[in-house]
Amino acid sequence: MGAPIKTWLTLLLTICGALAMAHDPAARATYLGNEGVLVIRGDTKVLFDAFYADSYGQYALVPDAMFKAMMAGDPPYDGIDAVFVSHVHGDHFTAKPAIRYLRRHPKVRLYGSRQTFDAIAASIPSDDPILRRVVVADIRPHDAAKQFHVGDIDIEVVAIPHAGGRSRADIQNLSWRVTLDDDTTVIHFGDAGTNKPDFDRHGEHFKAKRADAAFPPYWFFGNEEGEAIMRNYMDAGRIIGIHVPAAAIGNGDVRRQRAGGDLFTDPGESRELQTPPSTPGSEPASEVIDSAVNAPEGQL
Instruction: Tell the smallest beta-carbon distance from residue 132 to Zn ion (Å).
Output: 27
Strands 27-33 and 36-41: antiparallel
Residues 6+ positions from 299 with CB-CB distance below 8 Å: 56, 89, 90, 91
Which of 268, 263, 217 is closest to 240 using CA atoms? 263
Instruction: Tell the smallest beta-carbon distance from residue 187 to Zn ion (Å).
Output: 17
> Toward Zn ion, which CB reaches closer, 85 or 300?
300
**How many residues of this chain bind Zn ion (CB under 5 A)?**
4
Instruction: Tell the smallest beta-carbon distance from residue 204 to Zn ion (Å).
Output: 26
> Toward Zn ion, which CB reaches closer, 73 or 164?
164
Separation in Å, CA 134 to CA 99, 113, 120, 123:
10, 10, 9, 13
Binding string, 262-291, against Zn ion, x = CB under 5 A?
------------------------------
Where b means 16+ CB within 10 Å and e means fewer, 103-136 reads eebeebbbbbbebbbebbeeeeeeeeebbebbbb
Do the Cβ atoms of 122 and 134 come closer than 8 Å? no
> Toward Zn ion, which CB reaches closer, 28 or 89?
89
Per CB under 5 A, which region of 139-147, 179-187, 208-216, 292-300 contacts Zn ion? 292-300
Residues 6+ positions from 35 with CB-CB distance below 8 Å: 48, 49, 86, 91, 92, 188, 190, 191, 215, 217, 242, 243
> Toward Zn ion, which CB reaches closer, 113 or 185?
113
- Entry field: residues in the chain: 300
89 lines the binding site for Zn ion (CB under 5 A): yes
Per CB under 5 A, which region of 64-72, 113-121, 184-192, 266-274 contacts Zn ion? 184-192
Q: Which amino acid is at 32?
A: L
> Toward Zn ion, which CB reaches closer, 55 or 279?
55
Mind giving me the DSSP string for 242-270?
B--BGGGTT-HHHHHHHHTSEE--STT-E
49 lines the binding site for Zn ion (CB under 5 A): no
Per CB under 5 A, which region of 36-44, 90-98, 175-183, 277-285 contacts Zn ion? 90-98
Helices and strands (H, E) in the chain, number of each type = 8, 14
Per CB under 5 A, which region of 21-29, 48-56, 84-92, 108-116 contacts Zn ion? 84-92
Distance CA 71, CA 78 (A): 9
Instruction: Tell the smallest beta-carbon distance from residue 118 to Zn ion (Å).
Output: 16
Instruction: Tell the smallest beta-carbon distance from residue 97 to Zn ion (Å).
Output: 16
> Toward Zn ion, which CB reaches closer, 41 or 89?
89
Binding string, 187-216, against Zn ion, x = CB under 5 A?
----x-------------------------
105 lines the binding site for Zn ion (CB under 5 A): no
Q: Which amino acid is at 225?
A: E
Instruction: Tell the smallest beta-carbon distance from residue 174 to Zn ion (Å).
Output: 11
Which of 39, 48, 33, 53 is closest to 94 using CA atoms? 53
300 lines the binding site for Zn ion (CB under 5 A): yes
Separation in Å, CA 27 to CA 60, 209, 279:
24, 17, 19
In angstroms, how far is CA 248 from the centroid of its own chain? 19
The only residue of 49, 91, 156, 262 in contact with Zn ion, by rule CB under 5 A: 91
Instruction: Tell the smallest beta-carbon distance from residue 229 to Zn ion (Å).
Output: 18
List residues binding Zn ion (CB under 5 A): 89, 91, 191, 300
